[in-house]
Structure 1
Amino acid sequence: MISEKHSKVIENLTQIFENKTYRRKEILVDVEEIHRDLFYIKKGVARIFYYDDKAQDHTHWISSDDQFIALFSSVLSGKRMPFGIEVIEDGSEIFRFPYHLLLKLKSNSPELQQFMEDLFAESLITMGNRLIDQQIKTTDERYHDLIASHPDWLQRINLGYIAGYLGMTQQQLSKIRAQRS
């Protein structure tokens, strides 16, 4: 969620850049493509995904309403990564912010500069915490954390995507859900 502190910056950016309404399964960035944009999800859900050596699809990250989604390591390095971004909810309203234009705009806007620094720092902290959670917390604890922070996801997102995001199989997720019912 966007903090109150940065809501004005987002409002200004959404006045500059166009949004588009996407259907489920539309690709924002294809696998192996250099990620050059930040995406602001005003309404909807998208995921970062990759394929394993058996061409099986895996969910790496999920973002929803009032959140950003981007593969920051590719955006910042300009290198290809084996990840793509896909819309997973019909009617998702998403703004595409080209990173090179944000860089130009931030030179004249201390507010935008601070926002971008905060966004990248928050992303780094969130990914670090997620990695720690994957290594330390049980599958049940990760599921509990998810429903506490995103209770609406269970109704909006395919359980296979949620299982992948939580680092478990769909069968493990079903078992945890059954135990909690």
Structure 2
Amino acid sequence: MVSEKNLKIIENVIHLFDSHIYRKKEILMDIDQVHRDLFYIKKGVVRIFYYDEKAQDHTHWISSDHSFIALFSSVLSGKAVPFGIEVIEDNSEIFRLPYRELLELKSNNPEIQQFMEDLFAESLITMGSRLMDLQIKTTDQRYNDFVAAHPDWLQRINLGYIAGYLGMTQQQLSKVRAQQK
């Protein structure tokens, strides 16, 4: 979720970018491609996914309303990554922000520069926390933290995607949910 300060900055420049209404299952970025865009999700839900060596689908990340999603390692390095970005909720309104255009805006606008620095820092901190949670917390703790942070996601997102996001199987998620009731 974007801070109030950064939401105002976004609202001031978002008109410069194209928005589109996407349907569930539409791919924003393909796997094994160079990703040079950031996406602002005005409304909807999007995930970062990948396939393992058995061609099983895994959810790496989920973002929803008023947040950004990007594959920053590819955006910054210019190298292909084994991840894709998929829309997982119908009627998602999403803005595509080409990184080059953001860099041009940043060079002329200190607010945009600060916003981008905040976005990258927040992304780094969030990913670090997520990695720590997956390594240290129990499945029960991860589920409880998830429900507290995103109570509406249980109604909006396929449980298989949630299980993957939480680093567990659907069976583990079902067991945790059953114990919670």
Q: TM-score of the superposition, structure 1-length normalised? A: 0.99
Q: How does 1:17-166 map to 2 (within 5 A)?
A: 17-166=17-166
CA RMSD of aligned residues (A): 0.6
* Per-residue deviation, 1:7: 1.8
Deviations 1:90-128 (A, max 9, x none): 000000000011001100000000000000000000000
Mean Cα displacement is larger for which, 76-85 or 2-11?
Answer: 2-11
What are structure 2's unaligned runs of at least 5 residues?
Answer: none
Q: Aligned partners of 2:6, 2:71: CA distance in 1, in Å? A: 21
Q: Aligned partners of 1:7, 1:67: CA distance in 2, in Å? A: 9
Deviations 1:118-162 (A, max 9, x none): 000000000000000000000100000000000000000000000
Amino acid at match of 1:151: P
Q: Does the residue aligned with 1:151 lie in a helix, a strand or coil?
A: coil
Q: TM-score of the superposition, structure 2-length normalised? A: 0.99
Q: Could you tell me the percent identity over the aligned residues? A: 77
What are structure 1's unaligned runs of at least 5 residues?
Answer: none
Aligned residue pairs: how many?
181
Amino acid at match of 2:155: Q
